[in-house]
Structure 1
């Protein structure tokens, strides 16, 4: 069978399933071509467009309750139910990642404490010189607390950049399912991250800074 078709134009649209690059064709032409090829022309599915988002769940349930001679006639599935299922998995993954993040924060605090104590030990003579030049104990405390806060800011910045990068990557991989950002990082999340990082850095720096400030200047100057 030889069939000639005329291209009338190029359509740019998206259907109710979120797909693009559609091919538009006259219904009669398509039906005739399918019949000529001995293809069943009966409808296999119907796309229903709901006028209001609040009516989607109710309409889906209504369609699923339709019966013919006591038998269920149709099975309706909405994009909303698919998104809801995916969001459930995303929320579960978020909870797991939150637990990992909490453990990471604890480990980070311990690492900052260890790092700052090592810094105090390696700079004992420098601390003695600063005290001999007239720096007060509070000045020494501020010095080490400032260093710890800088570590916190840098860490929070890197973590935020990594989170945004992973979010973009995950949303891109799931874009074929629905035009929806499953991973959303709000301004509040960023603020919370920075506040948490600064708070942990401040708490972790307290003991090392206190030790540095309590060093005797004479003992510090004579340290090797």
Structure 2
């Protein structure tokens, strides 16, 4: 996959030293202004139509299959600096496996701290990571993602019961358009939305090849034609 990533413009020097150390030591890093206001607005407009057509309701709203949803969502993952960060965590033999929209409505969205794999792994053996892109401002009280920095390296980590806070947790706050990439062996979760507005986000899952996929479907011919052969090979 080295050639594929190179064709997509992925280079090691795209990441700042601080981002590399944060990925290794904290388990996550941040990309400011990952999406422009125009891109955020376009994604929200598309999501609104899809929610209306699907009739999706509930405390936490979900839309899956966004990899096939058209070019408005390509910018959420087909970015050299993001892919460089994924390669740093997973190595060059990785694939994108799923993209979905998740929105916590008022008084919902809280989760228990968890990891996205049953295997603890370790440096050089990480299996899964996730990129979360804020489509509205992530604030301390509107259901933003929380992480426990360094917990991916702590094999003795004990999560609190239920939705309780952890003393070392950090809530990922930032304006709409911000992206965070986190090692999915890091203990993390959504938090309860305590505001009167919906908190919108899109999450993209990357995984080391050979790991069982959540949704293992082949891209459509239209998606292959839109993305090109190099991007297709990452799917």
TM-score bucket of the superposed structures, by smaller chain: under 0.3
As a proportion of its length, which structure holds more helix?
1
Greater relative contact order (CA < 8 Å, ≥ 6 in sequence): 2
TM-score (norm 1): 0.23
Higher strand proportion: 2
- Which structure has the bigger radius of gyration? 1
